[in-house]
Chains A and B, each alone.
Chain A
Amino acid sequence: MGKILTVLLIELLILIVSVFALKIESTVGFLLLLVSIVFAIYYGAKNEKIRYRLQDAFSSSRRFALILGIILIFIFPLFFMDSPYWVFVITIGVIYIILAIGLNMMLGSLDLVNLGFAAFFGIGAYTVGMITAKYGLHLPYLIVLLLAGIVAMIFGLLLCLPTMGMKGYYFSLTTIAFGLAVELTINNLEWTGGPGGIKNIPHISLFGLNLGDSYTVFGYDLPFQLNYFYFALVIMLLVMLVAWLIHNSRIGLSWNAIKEDDIAARAQGINIKVYRIYAFAIGSFIAGVAGAIFAPLMGYIAPTNFTYAHSITMVAMVILGGIDNIMGIALGAFLLSIAPEKFRAFSDYRMLIYALIIILMVIYRPQGLIPKKIRKYDFIGGAKDE
């Protein structure tokens, strides 16, 4: 019972602190909060007794912790009903979590540093924009979502095949070129709207509901962004579940083996080409799906949404959060998509502080906020890592 209470209190504390952190307007106050969070985590991690008690509490009531966590995430945006802008920012954060999990299939599992991942995001978003706004086709949204994923996947395979034998910076360099090529193409083609992008992308309508409407619940007028938040959240949870299942299956294991030593992996009978194709296909499909949520949420997309800088940010999210750990990646993606908003007060120094955080992280905690864990095998039931 005490353990469940510990989990409950910790998760509530995290919720309250994060709501407070987003709401606080004074810059000094925010910085003070940030410093005290870092201090608290540092002290907690150093103190054996506290760390052991927390680990014990979370590992013995794993299911409760997970369900409570999901419930609290569903409640989270309700604290921002007065400012739809924050709901919007959080929704973008959720979309970036989806992207970072897709990227991790290459970057984290296989050590392929893809610096053009935003291209797949853009291809997904443009697929939706072209179908719904430019050609005005009235397909069911879920079909459009699937198409966005498939088109991104086709481009993923197009990038995968010629880079098959590449590793390290040769691979990264090629992906930079790929990302730029996609960005420049949609920027210069008249067919895709050029630099002006695609305007008036209609809102998602799903099972007779229009996500662009604001609904009234118990007399409260809810901002339409909230609909998008919940939709993105459901997709995010699905993507997380699939990514977790893959990570703990023989595919995740083979990916990791190839990452560690591809020559030894081949000598154990692993066909590395097939596993690379899996990573590209699944990763870019997920990015396309993220784009399919992004386009109707924005209503307007342009090449500037899918640049090299966006690709770099996605890589930073995975590295900051923790390579190959889904919870870590989610945390990293969320922090890095919220952080620029919080540092707006510093105006000119915003990107500087942002960069400083990343440099400090890489120096002092290169394994990420929540590092990768060793899979546990407690048969029957397969591998578990969370």
Chain B
Amino acid sequence: MKVLNIAYYTILRNFRDYKTLTMMLLLPIMLILILGSALGGIFTPNSVSATTVCYLNQDKKFMSQDFEEFLGTDEIKELIEIKRVDSKEEAIQLIMNKEAASLIVLPSSFSEEIQNGRKASIEVYNSKYSSFRTSIVQSIINGFVKGTNAQLVVRQMGSSSPEYLRFDNLQEISVTAEGNTPRAIDYYAVTMLIMTIMYGTAYGNFALKEEKQLNTSIRLASAPIRYTEVILGKLLGSIVTVLLQAILIIIFTKIFFNVNWGGNIPFVIFVCFSLTLLSVGLGMMVSNLGKNPQATGALLNFGVNIMTFIAGGYFPASQMGPLMEKIGFISPNYLAQQAIFNTIYEGSSVQTMNFMLGIWIILIISFIIAGFTERRSAN
């Protein structure tokens, strides 16, 4: 009961702190609106033009004819435009000038090696500047290689030359801005919600230090209540405060911005709850490691902004290059964002679980360190 008493009055006081409340509620809503409107263009899907690919045939025998036939099909022509070259140097120059994305080379021994049942290879040289387009080329070559391998296996098993039939057995689902793809406002609603929850570190930071500043720690210490009950009450109050703020943002953005929060709201709230635990625990941990709550507060504030940035909170990480995509993983924001996006857009549940696992590992570590350091400072 005493824990609930402390938690209740902590929540009451947090919600009367209008300055912090404005920052926790109004700021993210404004950012969702501003970023969602200003950066809408990034989220509008564009059609992909055909990728120019240099082609050097040094073989010129029967297998190369098969390959050229394959490249000449309508489906492949939609994706890549073949530019024949006479030398590798010529192709490399075109790639360097960004006039082509890749070079495909059929070596002179290609047909002979296949005929003798030996391993043959198609050489592909890719530009390092266009990862998306080179991945298309790579996929096309893989498709040809798999088909050729299958043909060879069938032949080795004694069958006559197999015939191919074309089946259009894939149902094409159009991905549009109105469909299952996030609009800018949907994206920023998630990232700003996550940022807000991470700002919950401020509550963790001040939870106990504030009692010392207000001098109420003397009353708490002299009252018939255990120190662990005080900590639990303060933690519970801070966690409920941040979670309520998160839920308010979800409700507001759903009603006023028609944000897509998906069909599994309880799981979205569970992600918020997990991240809330993490942020409050992290705040308490940093608070205990430093002496001055104002200094640790400023540090946490800065940290939250950095974490939000590298997780693509202000600008999608995919738009900031492969390096940013890679370092995004170190941010708790990234883990929570991906878990929520996966839930809303029905992505891989295994991936979602992995992201959740990441959050819980960080939060458990934070609480262990916070508990250890709190004990030290209490002593």
Please determine whether chains A and B interact with each other in the same assembly.
no
